[in-house]
Amino acid sequence: MAYRDFQDFLETLRSKGELKSISEPVSPYLEITEIADRVMKSDGPALLFENVVGPPHRLGTPNHRSAVMNYPSIHPTSAPSGSVKYPYPVAINTMGSRRRMSLALSCEDFEEHADRLRKLLAAPANMPKSLGEKLRLALELGSEVKTTAPKQVSTGICQQVVMQGDEIDLTQLPILTCWPEDGGPYVTLPLVFTHDPSTGKRNVGMYRVQLYDKNTCGMHWQMHKTGMRQMEDAAALGKKRFEIAVVLGGDPAYTFSAISPLPPGIDEMVFAGFLRKKNVELVKCKTVDIQVPADAEIVLEGYVDPAERRLEGPFGDHTGYYSLAEQFPVFHVTCVTMRQKPVWPATIVGIPPMEDGWMGKAVERIFMPMIQLTVPEIVDMNLPVDACFHNVAFISIKKKYPGHAYKIMNAVWGLGQLAFTKMVYIFDEDTNVQDIGEVLFRLGANCDPSRDVMMSRGPIDQLDHASVAEGFGGKIGFDCTHKWPGENGFSRDYPKLIKMSDDVKARIDQIWPKLGL
């Protein structure tokens, strides 16, 4: 069942014993991160910090930092002096387990949505060949069409309070400073709404937002992201302002939709309607021509000037390392709207495992049917959380011919965000790629480094600090399948994997209770 709003989701977590309220005074400057990090790494509950008290936000001096790229000596680890009682509680780790990630998507287990997608994509032969077009038409023509399309409403709780002009003061929000060397406080769970300047199509992405001052922020649009491309297109059309709305909260299905690797042309709010089985209600912003979820906690409206850049970062990132300070667009906030008594949604990223691990694992499982529609030989895939998802992929396939593994490697490197994968390991279909022990056994048993390796180059995640250049680097694939005669010069008989006969296993299953073992 869809949630009325973010706080309805929190109450559901509380009723199921998945939410812990913290009344002890805790600072958004590093302290919430340290608590949340310990809880995330111990499979602990969602947290609601009800008494957020700490120093005024350390906003720093970005122009000064731009002259010094060896930043560790610039930021003291002690908090600035003074104390502020931030008016809103902070919720974190709300999707930090399989159980909570499933609850966030209004189901018992998020694999249910993979099954729903698989049925939708089982389209007639005359359906379009494009994956994006196939999914779009499936959503429009499917049995759940009435719940997918968003609908506009005139009012929403997200606009119970409206602040413009001098009323805007973002420093009053409990924005987290996560790590000691961060360039400042960051909005870590923002849904960034934009529109294509040519087609008007909506995009919702998740890009971190650094707080600069009372009404100015950094907008971390990486080079491969849709938001950056749309802003560049707006600049090409001569636009001086590219409008944005940054949304906090609402049904958690919105957050998942924002991080989902949807094909081009698929509206994130349509997909959110599919997930929650209920239309997303959108209300028009006060100062920009953008519609946002009416049930949001807080909305920041504004614009970027495509010609303006400012130093953003450094930031402790999901890679487990700090991403370095770089020049990024500047977000000018023209209006802040919110509900009465909002809750500030947040997350942290850093050395895995973190909350984002379960968000990424849900993406992997739910979108498997779309991957298999494009590459049907794929049986299963595991993007390990500890490898930050985009670094390593373990893939099992139905091998049909010599060299089949290399075909899959190239397919993966040409498939949406999987194109950023640095290391791809291909296994036979009887390999459980979710079992790292089995993966390592098969890798060691079946891969000859002098024969079964393919090197390539291509786009890499912009945050990858090990690549030869920003956003571009090397890739490697490993054929860990059983080798066929003549494959890559293999001329010997390939041995069989040791397996017990089925009749003996059945016999021992019958007598096992009698053995006292």
Residues annotated as part of the active site: 317
Phi and psi torsions of 134, nearest 5°:
-65, -45
Give the Cα separation of 212 and 125 in Å (integer). Answer: 53
Give the Cα separation of 447 and 423 in Å (integer). Answer: 14
Contact by Cβ (8 Å): 487, 426: no
Q: Go through 15-49 and write b for each residue having 16 or more CB atoms within 10 A of its CB, e for each that does not.
A: eeebbeebeeebbbbbbbbebbbebbeeeebbbbb
Question: How many degrees, rounded to 5, is the angle at CA 132 between CA 130 and CA 136?
Answer: 115
> Hey, which bits of 288-343 come out as E strands?
291-293, 298-312, 315-316, 322-323, 326-338
> Dihedral through CA 77, CA 81, CA 83, CA 84, nearest 10?
-70
Residue type, 499: K
> Dihedral through CA 313, CA 317, CA 321, CA 326, nearest 10?
-30
Name residue, tokens 């600069």.
212
Alpha helices, DSSP H only, in 16-97?
Answer: 31-40, 62-65
Give the Cα separation of 445 and 95 in Å (integer). Answer: 37
